[in-house]
Amino acid sequence: MGLKYIERIKSVVLIVLIGLSLVLTFLIWNAAPYDTIGRQTTVDISIAESPEKKDIGSIIQPYKINFNYEEGLTGTTDSEKITYMIDHLEKWRMTNPELIDDSFSETKLNELLRQPNRLVLYYPDDVPLPVYENVLNIENPNIPEISFNFIVVEWDLTNAVLDIHFVSRVNELHYKSTAKIYESQTFSREVINVGRTYSPYIAVNAEGGKFITVPTGEIKLLQNTYFPSERDEINPTRFRSALFSDPHAVRRSEPSKYREEFQDNHALMSVDTKKKQLQFVHPIVESKELAIPSELLEDTIDFVNEHGGWTDEYRFSKMNFHTRYVSFKLYVRGIPVLGGNTLTEIEQIWGEDAIYQYKRPYYTLGDTLPSETETVVLPSGIDVAESLMADPEVDFNTIDEIIPAYYMRQDVDLNIFVLEPSWYYLQNGKWHCFSSDSLGGGKLGLE
C-alpha cells in the first residue's frame, strides 16, 4: 500500500508540473508580442540609396541673420553666409546662461533687437539649448532645460567680452551668457566687417510694434522644375522594412487605385501613391504625457537618422512638447518651402519610447530641367510690408515675420515638381503666401 500511495503522489505531482508548464508557455506566447511593442525597434535599412546621417548643426539652423550697426541694418538668408557666422559662434567659449527676466515682453524684446552693435540669429521655433550645445561651446556640461528662438550677440570693441542673449518669444524668457574674445581685431575683421558686406535691411515698423526686418532691394530667386527619374523614386516597401519590427509579418493591400496599406497586428502604414506621401501610425505607443523638449527633439532626429530618411534637405521647423509633435521643413538652396499643393515636411508625434505617428513625403526632387529654369524677381520687402499694412483684411500687428520662400506645385500627370518663389508672412503661427501681382515683379528669363 505504501508504494502504491507514493506512485499516486508522483503521478499527481507530474500532472501538476505538466499543467504549470502549459500555463507558463501560454503566458509567454501571449506576453511576448506586447513586450516587443513597448520596445519597438526599426530594421537596419536605409530609405535613401545614399543615406546620410545628419548632425544637429545641419538640421537646426537660423533662417535669417541681421547685423545692427549705428548706420543701419544688414542681413542675409543665404545658407553659406549663415554657416560662416555659426562657425565663429562655435569658437567662442560661453558661460552657462543665467535667467535675466522671466517676463520678457514683446516690448522688451524689441528694445533688445533694435539697439546697435548686435548680431541677431532667427530660428523658426524654440530650440532646446541642451540639444544645441553640440553647436555652441558652453563651459558647463550640465546645460539647463531652456529654449530659445533668438540668439543676440552684443559687442563692445572697448571690451573683450561679448554678451550672448538667448530669448524665447513665446515663453517670454531672457537668458544671458558671456564669451571672451581674445583677438578684438580678428573679431572685428572676420565678423563685424563681414556683416557690413551683407544686403541692406530695414525695420518695416520702426516706430513701434514687432521688430520685423526685410531686405530693401528686390530679391532674385530661381524657379526650377524638377523631373524625378526612376532612380530617384523611393519604393514604399523600403519604409515597410524600416518601420515595422517584423517586415515579414506585414500584410499589403490596395483599398483604392492610388492607395496602398501595409499593416501588422499593431501598426498601419497608408501610402498615397499619387501624391507620393505616407503616414505610419502605431496606436499602442501613444502617450499623453508632456515631453522633455530636448529629449523629444533628439528622439525625432535620431529616428529619421536611423533609417536614412533625410531624402532631401529638411530642417527643424516646429515643436510642441505638449502634443509631442515635431516637424522638419523642406529647404531648397537654403530657402524654405512654405506652401504647395503637396506635403513638404516630415511630421512626427512621438509616443512612449517609440514613434506614434510619422507623416512624410517619399518623393525626392531629382534633377532640374534646364530649359525650365528661370530667375524670378520678387518686389522688395519694403513694398510687401507696405502693401500688407494697407490691406484692410490684414492686421499687420499680428504679423511676426516676412521672408522670401518657395511654393511647390506638384503635377501628378507630368510627374514634375515646380518651385515658385514668393514672399510669405507669418501671422498667428501660420505662413501665408503674399500675392505680388499688384506690385509687379517678373522673370528675367532662361539661364
pLDDT of residue 134: 83
Give the integer Cα–Cα distance in Å for 233 and 216. Answer: 41
Domain holding 183, by residue range, is: 58-215
Read off the pLDDT of residues 159-218 as tens digits, 9 standing for 90 and up: 889 999 999 999 999 999 999 988 889 999 999 999 999 999 999 986 667 899 999 999
Domain membership flag for residue 3: no
Read off the pLDDT of residues 137-156 as tens digits, 9 standing for 90 and up: 898 878 889 999 999 999 99
Are residue 79 and residue 203 in the same domain, yes or no? yes
Q: Which three cell numbers stand for residue 120?
A: 541677431
Q: Point out the least confidently predicted range of 46-55, 56-65, 247-256.
A: 46-55
Q: Which three cell numbers stand for residue 353?
A: 519610447
Q: Taking the alpha carbons of 99, 103, 104, 108 in that order, is the dihedral positive or negative?
A: negative
Quick check: 358 and 428 in contact, CB under 8 A? no
Give the integer Cα–Cα distance in Å for 363 and 358. Answer: 15
Give the integer Cα–Cα distance in Å for 244 and 40. Answer: 8
Domain membership flag for residue 426: yes
The count of domains in the chain is 3
Q: Are strands 213-215 and 219-227 parallel, antiparallel or unpaired?
A: unpaired
Give the integer Cα–Cα distance in Å for 312 and 332. Answer: 8
Domain membership flag for residue 26: no
Q: Which three cell numbers stand for residue 76?
A: 542675409
Are residue 379 and residue 352 in the same domain, yes or no? no
Domain membership flag for residue 199: yes
Domain membership flag for residue 25: no
Helix, strand or coil, per DSSP, at residue 402: strand
Q: What is the mean pLDDT of residues 374-392?
A: 94
Instruction: Determine the longest span between alpha carbons in the chain, in angstroms.
Output: 113
pLDDT of residue 130: 95
Are residue 211 and residue 86 in the same domain, yes or no? yes
Are residue 317 and residue 414 in the same domain, yes or no? no
Are residue 298 and residue 415 in the same domain, yes or no? no
Kindly write down the DSSP assignment for every residue of 267-297, as one continuous string: -EEEEETTTTEEEEE-GGG---SPPPHHHHH
Half-sphere exposure of residue 356: CA atoms within 13 angstroms, side-chain side: 17
Read off the pLDDT of residues 69-123 as tens digits, 9 standing for 90 and up: 999 999 999 999 999 999 999 999 999 999 999 999 999 999 999 999 999 999 9
